[in-house]
Structures are given as structure tokens and as C-alpha cells.
Amino acid sequence: MEAEGLVLLLLLVFTFQGEASDKKEETYCTAQRGSIMVEENGSVTIPCNFTHPKLKSSSEEVRVSWRRGTNRCGNGEFIYNHTGGRTHQNYTGRISSVRNPSERTAAITINNLRRTDGPMFCCRIEISKESKYIEGWQNQHGTQIQFTDEFSVEQVDVVPAIVGEDITIPCLVHYKDPTTIESVTWTMGSSDLCVENNDEIYTGKEKSLAIGQWSVVNFPQDLSLRITGVRAEDNKKYCCKVKLKLMNNNVSPLRSTQVTPAAATDRTLAVVQPETALPDSDGSATLRCSFTPQSYAAFLGTDVFWRAGSPRGVYAYHPSPAMIDHRYRGRTELRGSADLYIKGVTHADNTTYYCFVMVKYCVSNKTSSIIQYGIGTKLEVKDTFMDDFRKGDNNTLVYAVVAVLIAVIILCAVIIIILKTKGVICKKHSGRSVFSGVICKKHSGREDVRYLTSDIALKDRNPSDNEQIPRDSIPRASSSAPPMAQEESGGVLYAHLNVSSLQQTTNNGRKGSKPEDDSQVLYAAVKTTIAPQDIYSTVNK
């Protein structure tokens, strides 16, 4: 009898377990984003994830349709039925569906958005057999579209947290003068809808006001809620309600923000990251992250986040752009299921990145979630030249010195070539400069003074040390002679000096008159090759 009783007890246990297992499989859930900012005449894609019991036969099929509403969809009118091919007349030609029932995903895209669209769109799932309806369920909260140029209050869907860290829950007020804001109230609860979360935790209109662990960042410019020292029991849903001075009006978003502390260890979710990663040749980087949820039957979807520096660091990626740190905003995106892509990698990105994965499950027709993060991936960005220089790398210093010397030599050579080409540097004759250290100047594109060469032998005369050359014996150059011609007389070299261009301006900058005979004779002192003494020079004006 005892043995029979034990067998009966075991049978009952297995029966209850089977019923519980079957009941667990009988789960119906849909998950959608809380809100999406849009522009008039633009387009929007609204995703929807869902879970349902396994189909019992091949004749059963999953059908997806969409409803619209104001605060809730409820029994709102259908605007699109993918399977039936029916579209509301107000959306004809503007709506299309992207769905994959095998992966339990569905989405609609609405083009040419109008102010009268929505504003709430809800995804509905139905099971039918041989075209006959069996059962159906839908997301009551749906996704709200908000136009960017209209006054609204926006919140993000999820803020992950590490127990003990300080976090900030954004409250984004669009297109409203901060001076018209009278106060802000934060509430928390367990509902996705803000109207159902009435547990007030903060009300104030002072910048420095703090109530317990809660405070506002910077009233009235920034109404975001700061939570100091997150606890495990802070796993709630938070709502921001803004009170305006005009007509005592209160404005709040429809959907709340979920704060989810990450578990220290959770065997139901394994997040895997490589220890290191290198940038790609194009200057971008892709950091890998993979995860394995425990049960696919109740799997509803995932949200992925990346934090930089430490598990408590800034967000390198978040599904809501408002949460991404300014250093990464516009540079990161999610690729694949959880990989982080960073473009324009610099040495400032040389840090460790942590992949956070939040998995949503459907339990008893309600959504539940857990979050876990990996060990971190170190992005190793090669040091730049200045980094090596600061570190005192010997090879880098040698290369730097050699490169600088080569650059200086090339620069000097280029400068000398340019100066010689332009005639700024005196040319050499017979291997030596006529007047060493003298720079030849140009004026108005031509030479005003040309130095005489000393290599002409003075054959006619060789005066003694005390002998003077009579002034009258030196022939006067004809005015018709070329301005720059050289002439030889009695072994003395002289040349015509055209100073007309030098007389163009006076000391005060005024133009002077041009003389009738604008040339002068310049006598140069030269040393001959046959006489040891110098031949002095005179100037005949």
C-alpha cells in the first residue's frame, strides 16, 4: 500500500508539473516601444515582438493586424490587416508591413505622416485555423508617435543600473519655455502607463531640493530624476509629470521608464564578450557580444546597451539617443543582435566596453525581464605619434629627429633655389662671389645695380701707389649708351647706373621729377691680377 501510495503521489506530481508546463507555454504577450519622435510628412517604423503557444497543427497560422487609438487602443478601429489585405482608407498607399512569424516579430511602416495619424498604434496577434478565428491578443499600451515641433514630455523605455550606482532618468520637455514650468512631480509604480502609477516620490520646483535618494538635476532646465545609490528594490517604473503655470495644466508621457538593476550573476542568461578588439583598417571598430537566453518558448525580445570605461560608465550606445554620451552620439550603432559598431575611432576611444543585455519574457501573459552584462572588451587603439613621444619611446624619438632634419634640409634647399631663381642671391663668377655677403636687390622686376666683375685684366694702365687718375682722362659715357652696359677705359672699369627708379620717391614718399640725364657713372675699386695695389674709384656726377 505504501508503495502504491508513493507511485500515485509521483504520478500526481508529474501531472501537476505537466499542467504547469503546459500552462507556462500558454502565454500571450506583445511588446512595443513606448514612444517615437516623428516629423510631419516623414515616415516611421513601429516594431512589435510577440509570443504565443506553439501551433498545434500545420493548418494553424498566425495573423498580424494593427489598431489605432488615443490613450489606449482597446477596441479602436483597425487600420491594417496584413493577412486579409485590408487597409483603412486614411492609410491607403501609406502603410506596409514587415513581419516574420517564425521569429515572432512584426512591424509596420507608415509614410507621409499626418497630424491626424494615431497617435497610438497597437499590434494585435491572432491564431486561426482553416481561416477561422481561434484566439487573439494585443498590446493595450501600444506605441505613441510624437511630432518634434509640438509640445510634449518624452521618457526613455529602460534605464539599466548597477546596485549602488547613481543613475539619471531623463525627462525631456520638447518645445516649451522653461519659465512656464511651475513644478515637476515624479511617481513610481508597476504599470507601464503613467496614469496608473500614483506613488509620488518627488515634487518640487527648487534646483537643490532633494527628497530622500531622489532629486531633480537642474530645475527648470533639466527635470530628469537622479537616484542616488540604486537599490534592488528600486526596480520600478517611473513617470515624470510637468505642471505648467498657464491654466494649471499637467503634462506627462503615456509610458513610464523601467529601471532594471543588473543581477550580479544570473545563470538564466549568459553574455559573452571577447577580452580585446582592434580597430578595422577603415578607422571603425566592431565589438562582439553574444548571449543565450534560457528559454525560447517564452522569449519576447531583447534590449541591448553598451557602457564605456566601467559597468557604471557612460553609455556608448542606448536605444534612446538621449541617453548616449556626447562623445559617442552619432558615432555608434547596434549591428547584428548585440554587436557595437563605432565609427571614426580615435585614441580617446581606447577603453573597455561592457555589453548589457536585457531579455524580456512572457510569464502568465505578462512581461518580465532580466538584465546581465559581460566581462568587458578592451578596444586597443594604437598609440599616435604624440603618445609615443610623451612616453619617451626611443625608436620614435630617433625617427622624429631624422624626419625633422630631412624636412629642414629639404626646406633650405627649396628656399635657396627660389631665391636664386628670383635673383635675390648674387650669382657667382669664376667660382667666387664678386662682393661676398652682399644681396642683390630688384626693383620693379629688373636690376637697378649690377656689380662689375673683377676678372677683366687691366692691360693699358698700372698706376703706382701715389699716382692718381686724372678725372678728365676718364671718358664720359654717352647718354645714349645702354643703362646697364659695362665700359672699359684705361684699365678702369665703370658702368652706367640707372637711378631713375631709385629717385621715384623722396624721403617723404612723394614722387620726384626725373632728371634729363638719369644715368650716372659708377667707378668701382678693383684689384687687378698684375698689380698688387687696389685701384681706387671715383664717381662722376
142: left (phi over 0), alpha (psi -120 to 50) or beta: left
Give the integer Cα–Cα distance in Å for 335 and 74.
Answer: 35
Domains 25-145 and 151-261 share a fold: yes
Q: Output the nine-digit C-alpha cell for 168.
A: 539619471
> What pLDDT does residue 253 have?
87
Q: Output the nine-digit C-alpha cell for 529.
A: 691680377
Fold classification of 269-382 (topology level): Immunoglobulin-like (2.60.40)
C-alpha distance from residue 372 to each of 289, 294, 304 (Å): 12, 13, 10
Looking at the DSSP assignment, which residues form a beta bridge with residue 505? Answer: 511
Cβ 257 vs Cβ 158: under 8 Å = yes
Read off the pTM: 0.64
* Burial readout 318-350 (b: 16 or more C-beta within 10 A, e: otherwise): bebeebbbeebeebbebeeebbbbbeebeeebe
> What pLDDT does residue 174 have?
86
> What pLDDT does residue 502 have?
46
Q: Output the nine-digit C-alpha cell for 443.
A: 626693383
Q: DSSP letters of 302-315?
A: EEEEEEESSTTSEE
Give the integer Cα–Cα distance in Å for 284 and 331.
Answer: 10
> How are beta strands 432-433 and 486-489 bridged, if at all?
unpaired
The number of beta carbons lying within 10 Å of the beta carbon of residue 55 is: 13
Q: What share of the chain is helix, strand, coil (3-state, %, to 5)?
A: 15, 40, 45
The number of beta carbons lying within 10 Å of the beta carbon of residue 525 is: 13
Give the integer Cα–Cα distance in Å for 518 and 511.
Answer: 15
Superfamily of domain 151-261: Immunoglobulins (2.60.40.10)
Which helix (H) or strand (E) is 2 found in, with range?
A: helix 2-25
Give the integer Cα–Cα distance in Å for 336 and 290.
Answer: 10
Angle at 43 between CA 38 and CA 44, to 5 degrees: 65
Cβ 320 vs Cβ 157: under 8 Å = yes
Task: Give the closest residue to 287 by CA, choosing from 341, 362, 358, 348.
Answer: 341
Give the integer Cα–Cα distance in Å for 218 and 238.
Answer: 18
Task: Give the closest residue to 346 by CA, choosing from 393, 387, 394.
Answer: 387
Class of the domain covering 25-145: mainly beta
The per-residue pLDDT string of the chain (541 residues; one tens digit each, 9 = 90 and over) reads 434 443 333 333 333 233 333 444 557 888 888 889 999 999 999 999 888 777 767 778 888 889 998 877 777 889 998 766 789 999 999 998 877 766 788 889 999 999 999 899 999 888 888 778 888 888 777 899 999 888 889 999 999 999 999 999 999 988 778 888 999 999 999 988 888 888 999 998 888 888 999 999 999 999 999 999 999 999 999 999 999 887 668 888 888 999 998 865 566 688 999 999 999 999 999 999 998 876 666 788 889 999 999 999 999 999 999 899 999 999 999 999 999 999 999 999 999 999 999 988 888 777 888 899 999 999 999 865 444 454 455 565 677 778 888 988 998 888 888 887 876 665 554 444 444 444 444 444 444 444 444 444 334 444 444 444 454 544 444 444 444 444 444 555 555 555 554 444 444 444 444 454 544 555 455 554 444 555 444 454 4
> What pLDDT does residue 276 have?
96
* Domain boundary assignment for the chain: 25-145, 151-261, 269-382, 386-421, 434-541
> How are beta strands 158-161 and 257-261 bridged, if at all?
parallel
Please give the biggest Cα pair distance in the chain.
Answer: 160
> What pLDDT does residue 532 have?
53
Cβ 73 vs Cβ 82: under 8 Å = no
Give the integer Cα–Cα distance in Å for 384 and 415.
Answer: 31
> What pLDDT does residue 223 have?
94
Cβ 137 vs Cβ 118: under 8 Å = no
Q: Which residues lie closer than 8 Å to 522 by C-beta, 6 or more apart?
A: 494, 495, 496, 497, 537, 539
Give the integer Cα–Cα distance in Å for 157 and 139.
Answer: 15
> What pLDDT does residue 488 have?
46
